[in-house]
Amino acid sequence: MADNSIRTELFLPIKLGNISLANRIVMAPLTRSRVNEEGVPNEINVTYYVQRASAGLIISEATNISAQGRGYVMTPGIWTEQQVNGWRKVTDAVHAAGGKIVVQLWHVGRCSHIDIQPGGECPVAPSAIKADCNVYTYIGPQEASMPRALKTDEIPGIIEQYRHAAECAKQAGFDGVEIHSANNYLLEQFLRDSTNHRTDQYGGSIENRARLILEVVEAVTQVWNADQVGIRLSPTTPEVGNSPLDSNVMATYGYLIQQLNKFKLAYLHFVEGATGKNRTIPEGIDLDALRSLFDGPYIGNNNYDLEMAISRHAEGKIDAVAFGRPFISNPDLVERLRYGIELAEVNNDAYYGNGEKGYTDWPKANDF
């Protein structure tokens, strides 16, 4: 039989740090809101991830590192024994199917509501600046609550939440972890001067605002080998919370990336443009120049199609490419891309909730 597959190195193996991938197509983290109130993955989640195990690497949906870190109901956690056991079923099944999976460690910071915070307390943030967004609570969408600024002596406790979650991820059988430092959640809230107005050692200068991220990376890499730890950044996205960009993106993120090089991480994962919306880059910002500062493998993300991925890979601008929404409606996305099979389209109704509908009921191309 003739081999009609598309010829590109994207379908060849690669190593990201010490994580060996069968191909360079990565499943991006996708919040789907299909776990129970305790944040425990169940059998439907096992099915969902196994269906997509042909991806070279699955990055799990954003996963809360603590009860305090949660901003949306029906999102998974990785801090309790029950959550670990639930994720273990997922990782075992993905590995049995020949796949690799890392967990994305998430603390939402100010993007939360008192109704879902422990004891009805205010969300925490670098500074008491309200997020301009809705979060999903037990009674539906509500405006994010006014946060309180973390006290300096509370910050070691935040770092400990990341360290503990990293330990739990190891127990759950993941192949590594990705530190979620993007989309204006807690770590990026500390990094940007638009959301960080602190005057202690975690605010003011670029070095101070990057401090928490680097301390979290240090803590996580004491649990995992650094070559099994990735990080996600989003220098030019206003989401979530409609947060203004840092006043000096090139200097701030340039400094951070150069400091990250000291850890020799598995990969850097960039949101190129505005998350899920467009690839428009503000004047004076050069994401490729920032990317080139990183010494290790680079995953490009945001509104890619195969043609763009092939082109940017050929130009040496990406080592792997992450697809998000196409993986929702195409569990066999790698095969469809490789053989030029038409992609199924997804609509917004399938994104969140609804059980199996729009989650595990998408047919593979050979099911027709």
What are the residue numbers of the active site?
A: 185
Residue 175 CB contacts under 8 Å (≥ 6 apart), including other chains:
19, 57, 91, 100, 101, 102, 228
Classified as helix, coil or strand, 15 is: strand
Give the amino acid at 115: D
The two structure tokens encoding residue 150: 């973390």
Q: How far is CA 69 from the centre of its chain?
A: 14
Whole-angstrom distance, CA of residue 131 vs CA of residue 151? 19
Which DSSP string do the residues of 228-268 spell out, in sequence order?
GEEEEE-TT--TTTTPPPPTTHHHHHHHHHHHHGGG--SEE
Are 110 and 130 in contact by the 8 Å Cβ rule? The answer is yes
Whole-angstrom distance, CA of residue 165 vs CA of residue 84? 10
Are 217 and 265 in contact by the 8 Å Cβ rule? The answer is yes
Of 195, 28, 229, 213, the residue nearest 107 (C-alpha): 213
Phi-psi region at 24: left, alpha or beta (left = phi > 0; alpha = psi -120 to 50): alpha
Helix (H) or strand (E) holding 43: helix 43-51
Are 156 and 150 in contact by the 8 Å Cβ rule? The answer is no
Which DSSP string do the residues of 298-365 spell out, in sequence order?
EEEESS--HHHHHHHHHTTS-SEEEE-HHHHH-TTHHHHHHTTPPPPP--GGGTS-STTTTTT-PPPG
In the block, residue with structure tokens 């792997």: 320
Residue 308 CB contacts under 8 Å (≥ 6 apart), including other chains:
none
